[in-house]
């Protein structure tokens, strides 16, 4: 009788252990799937392909909406650098919004159109700089460089959209000043 109880208890204990272990494996698999989806969303929005940076951003709880904002603000600032927004700059911003999937994320097109018609308050760029400087302190040098490179490539693309004749003078002095200011944010 003791042998049967011991055997039955052992099997129950094993079943319970493996059930709990299976549950942990399933939960971990779901977490990995969620991370993969979040990583894909961040990559699609930002253009970032560096896995380490994407994983670090996720660990810092930076989601797709936050990333869209982090990249969108400097692009809008560059577009308004010379005091007006050119049609080509506006087109680049719409391309960014489409790539970022902002419409699918529920961003009211009226908000974006306000930014396309009226230069944002300078406090927006100041807030962005403070946020980026804080974020950069949490990133390794490699991750900071990858984020800077992606963001600056998009900002330069907007700056180059409206200017130049035959490829000369594509970036105005005002746009260059904003680009330099954005770059400086990553050095602080």
> Quick one: how far is CA 126 from the chain centroid?
18
CA 111, CA 107: separation in Å to the nearest integer? 7
Query: Which long-range contacts does 170-175 make (Cβ < 8 Å, 24+ apart)?
Result: 172/81, 172/82, 174/81, 174/82, 174/83, 175/78, 175/81, 175/82
Q: Which residues contact 180 (CB under 8 A, 6 or more apart)?
A: none
DSSP 127: H
pLDDT tens for the 188 residues of the chain, in order: 455 557 676 677 666 666 666 677 777 777 666 767 777 877 777 677 788 888 888 888 887 777 777 778 888 899 999 888 888 888 888 787 777 665 554 455 556 677 778 888 898 899 889 888 988 898 899 989 988 998 899 899 888 887 655 555 678 889 999 999 999 998 86
The domain segmentation of the chain, as residue ranges, is 56-187
Q: Which two tokens stand for residue 80?
A: 């308004």
Residue 109 to residues 13, 59, 69, 70, 95, Cα–Cα distance (Å): 58, 30, 14, 18, 14
Task: Check residue 4 and give its pLDDT.
Answer: 59
Task: Check residue 106 and give its pLDDT.
Answer: 46
Task: Check residue 5 and give its pLDDT.
Answer: 59
CA 179, CA 75: separation in Å to the nearest integer? 10
Q: Which two tokens stand for residue 154?
A: 């998009």
């Amino acid at each position: 009788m003791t042998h049967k109880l011991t055997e039955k208890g052992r099997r129950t204990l094993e079943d319970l252990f493996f059930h709990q272990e299976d549950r942990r494996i399933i939960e971990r698999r779901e977490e990995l799937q969620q991370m993969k989806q979040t990583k894909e969303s961040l990559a699609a929005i930002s253009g970032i392909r560096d896995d380490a940076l994407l994983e670090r951003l996720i660990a810092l709880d930076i989601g797709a909406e936050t990333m869209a904002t982090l990249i969108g603000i400097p692009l809008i600032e560059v577009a308004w650098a010379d005091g007006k927004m050119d049609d080509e700059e506006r087109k680049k911003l719409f391309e960014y919004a489409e790539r970022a999937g902002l419409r699918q994320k529920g961003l009211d097109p009226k908000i974006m159109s306000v930014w396309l018609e009226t230069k944002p308050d300078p406090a927006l760029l100041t807030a962005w700089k403070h946020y980026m400087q804080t974020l950069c302190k949490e990133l390794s040098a490699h991750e900071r460089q990858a984020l800077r490179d992606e963001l600056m490539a998009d900002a330069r693309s907007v700056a180059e959209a409206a200017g130049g004749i035959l490829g000369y003078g594509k970036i105005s002095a005002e746009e260059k000043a904003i680009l330099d200011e954005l770059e400086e944010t990553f050095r602080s």
